[in-house]
Amino acid sequence: MLTSFIEGLLCCLTSKPANTVVPVETSEPTDGYEFVEVKPGRVLRVRHIIPDRPVVEEPSLGGIVSCKRKITVYRNGHLFIENLGERASAELKTCQNGDTEPNSTMEVELTDCRNSSPPVSIPEARSGSLTAGNNGASETGSAGEAPAAGQAEQPQQPRKRRRKPKRTVVIDCERRIAGCKGTHSDVALFFIHGVGGSLDIWGSQLDFFSRLGYEVIALDLAGHGASSSPHIAAAYTFYALAEDIRLIFKRYAKKRNILIGHSYGVSFCTYLAHDFPDQIHKMVMINGGGPTALEPSLCSIFNLPTCVLHCLSPLLAWSFLKAGFARQGVREKQLLKEYNAFNVSSFVLRAMMSGQYWPEGDEVYHAELTVPVLLVHGMHDKFVPVEEDQRMAEILLMAFLKVLEDGSHMVMLECPEAVNTLLHEFFLWEPATLPPPKKEPKTRPETAKTQTDTSISEPTKVRPATAKQT
């Protein structure tokens, strides 16, 4: 603690960062580490493992999913989603109550809007309402007036008020989704960490899937791990980091790519899924939070000067250990040290938290995604409430939410076997193609006395895993 205080004081006096992360020497090629210069002077460490596949299989055709939905945004801030898919999409769509309903509609309220009424509530005309006529407004049905003799009181029809939508987005496409095996040469896995992490936190996942034959790619964000650390705050904005990841993706991408993001890294996965919809086959969100636009907080502790944050670094590390892990024992402390988690300079940490500005990433942006998504949530996560991942599952077109009871924010370190199993099952998953509708048998008009039922049987309902509230 005393050392941190002295270094922080020197940081304030010299105006230099107290602990700057610089790239390490290039590892041997057999280690799978590479250093990629995405921009002049901006070097990222990348771990790229190409396994030796003794057997290479041709990918299966999989199933075709009809992605049809209409997204309407009203001026009062409400979002109205109508799913128009008929067959395969009806099997995959998970509604708010967990049921599967074909051609279902869903209404949600944008998180940044307050004190607004639901879009489907139509105000009915009461007995004392005002109706506008040619000569002005006249009150009808007042208490001082009685109906004329011999006239029955007519029930007044409610006057519907149509809300003019602010924006309407229509999605009408089909996606072919197939299982992704390690023996398929056209599959690549991309792992993206969050604030304070590094590619080392994916060590268990990289080893597990590379042994199964998958080609895996993981990177250190700028200022993290062994990547370079520019001493300028603009180098750590969302768009600057997203451009780095975009260049890395274009360098290593295959025909079918699967993105795995953790925490802040989930936002970059969503960004890539919008930029490369045909190349992103599936996506995994681990403790990523809700579908809200990113905006830095003005009352955050990370707005303090860098030297003050460096003095508080032991307290911040203890807080991260307490909030990021379900248990705070010797094993968890060893995991933090071994996997190089939350080991960034105070300047980088401050710039990362202040640069989380992404206004486009709202609920509509996420609702436009047609890629299948697996959401993994640690029940004891104190950074991301389970309600945020539940809302994300409601907004997305194809989403499966899994909650691990023994995990927290760093669930990939706490429960590596469970996470690897969930991810592998999701990689192998492909939608079941529903049988074509039965053709109505031809009958003679004079003898056709009974009506033939040609309706398709209801598809099997798929319920997401129930999430327990923390």
Q: Which residues are catalytic?
A: 263, 381, 409
Rounded Cα distance, 294 and 467, in Å:
24
Report yes or no: 44 and 35 within 8 Å, Cβ to Cβ: yes
User: What is the sign of the dihedral through the CA atoms of 323, 324, 326 and 329?
Assistant: negative
Residue 22's closest CA among 193, 220, 225, 306? 225
Rounded Cα distance, 351 and 370, in Å:
32
Which pair of structure tokens corresponds to residue 135?
Answer: 């000569």
Query: 294: which DSSP letter?
Result: B
- Local structure of 362: helix, strand or coil: coil
Q: Which residue type sits at 115?
A: N
Which pair of structure tokens corresponds to residue 73?
Answer: 């945004």
DSSP string, 136-185: EEEE-S-TT--PPTT-PPPPPPPPP-PPPEEEEEEEEEEEEE----TT-T
Tell me the CA distances in angstroms from 342 to 74, 268, 283, 335, 345, one per residue in order: 41, 19, 24, 11, 9
Residue 409's closest CA among 312, 299, 327? 327
Rounded Cα distance, 262 and 195, in Å:
9
CB neighbour burial string for 46-80, b if at least 16 within 10 angstroms, e if fewer: bbbbeeeeeeeeebeebbbbbbbbebbbbeebbbb
The angle that helices 238-252 and 265-275 make with each other, rounded to 10 degrees, is 60
Report yes or no: 137 and 130 within 8 Å, Cβ to Cβ: yes
